[in-house]
Amino acid sequence: MYQKIVKVINRAGIHARPAALLVQTAKDFECEISFEREDDRINGKSIMGIITLGAAFGAEITIIAEGKDEKEAVEALAKLFENKFEEE
């Protein structure tokens, strides 16, 4: 298992477009991917799950992956957060 804590730094938070971008990226990997916020843990390959996290600006999310390409998956997803989902 590999995990990393990221922060939502784009002003609009995670809405439909960033959620779709996360799912598209997650589906490129074979490992199991989850996002965790507070007490909620959702499937990282589910757009509805990601949207239901309600992650606004400043929210901290833990990206968790388990499988053969887990490190690459987490780093690719974390980069989307760091780049503000290419929105700003």
Would you name the residues annotated as active-site residues?
15
Give the span between the Cα atoms of 49 and 86, in whole angstroms.
Answer: 21
Cross-strand bridge partners of residue 34: 43, 64
Q: Can you tell me whether residue 58 is helix, strand or coil?
A: coil
Q: Which two tokens stand for residue 11?
A: 């002003």
